[in-house]
Copies of this chain bind each other. A is one copy, B any other.
């Protein structure tokens, strides 16, 4: 009984997240408009009405879901924000490597991107919020590091420094391809990342024969 009580309480506390998780899968699969809240409920193991106990409307479910994924993303990205002294070639390589792997490691990352792109015109404020709390900090941090690296001559002081999104583009491209073709687009992720980092680093380096690459 006590156990059952605890279980029920635990269940209750987890319900919202279970619903959001289920909602995420359904929304990613069918898009906002074509997703039926009833399917979300079924997937979450509850009934239609229960969703309305925790959320005001379909829109609020969607917003909560995006915010939840944002939180997850921020947590995953945390290591990137730790301070480490002056950037070296290797630290930049490590940074890129980390970023690529971080936003590539979880299929859900990709599906969130699909949702953001699909529903950007319906939820512009939400997309902005996600940008400001998730993407922008990363880009800003990256920019800051690149500027410092350029200043101390680790990389060349080219315009690229102003476009940190340029460095992220290989990861983005991979996401987009996966969104479009799913498993029909087989890719050796490992090698792709390596190649990308290699290309970018090579592009960033000042004119120097010492370039090392695997």
Contacts and interface: CB of A to CB of B under 8 A. Distances in A.
Contacts of A3: none
A9 interface: no
A117 interface: yes
B32 A159 contact: no
Contacts of A210: 207
A4 interface: no
A107 to B, nearest CB: 13
Contacts of A181: 120, 127-128, 131
A93 B163 CA distance: 19
A2 to B, nearest CB: 25
A91 interface: no
Counting chain B CB atoms within 10 Å of each CB, which of A93, A180, A194 scores highest?
Answer: A180
Given A198-B213, A199-B158, A211-B207, A173 B168 contact: yes
A8 interface: no
A101 interface: no
Interface string A181-214: 1101000000110111011111111011111111
In the complex, the count of this chain's copies comes to 4
A207 B202 CA distance: 9
A72 to B, nearest CB: 18
B30 A121 contact: yes
A152 interface: no
Given A184-B128, A207-B211, A198 B159 contact: yes
Given A31-B33, A116-B180, A122-B30, A207 B204 contact: no
A172 B173 CA distance: 6
A131 B181 CA distance: 9
A169 interface: yes
Given A117-B180, A201-B211, A209-B209, 6 more contacts: A117-B118, A120-B179, A159-B191, A169-B169, A172-B176, A201-B203
